[in-house]
Structure 1
Amino acid sequence: MPAALSLLQQRHSAPSRQLGEPAPDEATLRALLEAAIRVPDHGKLVPFRLIRLHGDAKLRFGEQLSAIAIRNNPELSEAKYEKERLRYTFAPLVIVVIASLQADSKIPEIEQKLCAGNVAYNLLLGAYALGFGAQWLTGWAAYNREVASILKLTENEHVIGFVHMGTPQIEVPDRDRPALADVFSTWTS
């Protein structure tokens, strides 16, 4: 079996809380990002961009998100507040994948979002191929306009996901997958 197909058959997400150092070094990260942006892009719009969160910035980001969370829900428990504050600190690297939608384009927004989603998935595949672990997460922060403002997103930009990356600190078991017969059919008319 070709190595690329084997990679696809083995790929799985590693929980962000189980990702530690090392993350990809600068040269490896650059190569990974260059590969990740090679996605189908109808109209060559490049409807995506990437933001790196690393080092102390991850905690500062989480602190700003936890402030939003408590403002939106003053009854938020201390445990949930702390979860929000620390959410981005476990993996050594987080790449925020942004959909930059061009509303005046003839290319439907769904295609532009799928293009950005492919970037996120390529990050997962590439990280796995390089021996790293990764997990694509969204959560409330991906859909919140105050968070978008913190990330300095424009009105036409949306978070597709937060891709947490690092080295798995545990053996990650695979999860159950659907049987092909349950999801594949042939149209006959």
Structure 2
Amino acid sequence: MSGSFPAGGFGAGGLGGGFGGPEGMWQAFDQLRSTFEKKVGTRMGRGDVRAAVLALLAEKPMHGYQIIREIEERSGGSWKPSAGSVYPTLQLLADEGIITAEESNGRKTYALTEAGREEAADAGPAPWEGSAGTGAGAGDSAAFGALPKAGFELAQAAAQVRRTGTPEQVEAAVTVLDEARRRLYAILAQD
């Protein structure tokens, strides 16, 4: 995203300054929102889908869309695998004898076999848990997953103010966003 936004930041030099007025600021927020929408999608590899499915089925039997929702929830919204990646993984696991599928009320519910329980036990932490780093800059993977979600929600709120707010509310929102930007950079400046 480098170079996506003017160096003046949100609100520098008055209402939406640096963006050509308030309209430019809202265009930047729309761009920010769409960037987060794109990044809050499938971000893991094929092996991660398999590991995630095994981790969830180790807890209890589930159907496919339940697995997708659980992965999204447990990753803090940063990873939502598509049905096109989950269902082929489920079929592969069934073909390998790792899971079984039982149909009830038009839905297939998947459960681990004995071999599946062994593989799940040997798999290590679930992909959304990540591995705790120890070096500088290492952080909690849940926090990294929460950041795009928080940014997206902030952009949604700003877009709502743009659509329905009075000129005074829009100006107040710009002040809040400018302060938020300064505070975020202050976090990075801390050592």
Q: TM-score w.r.t. structure 1 length?
A: 0.26
**Higher helix residue share:** 2
The structure with more strand, counted as a fraction of residues? 1
Q: Higher relative CO (CA 8 A, sep ≥ 6), structure 1 or 2?
A: 1
TM-score, normalised by the number of residues in structure 2: 0.26
Task: Mark the structure with the bigger radius of gyration.
Answer: 2
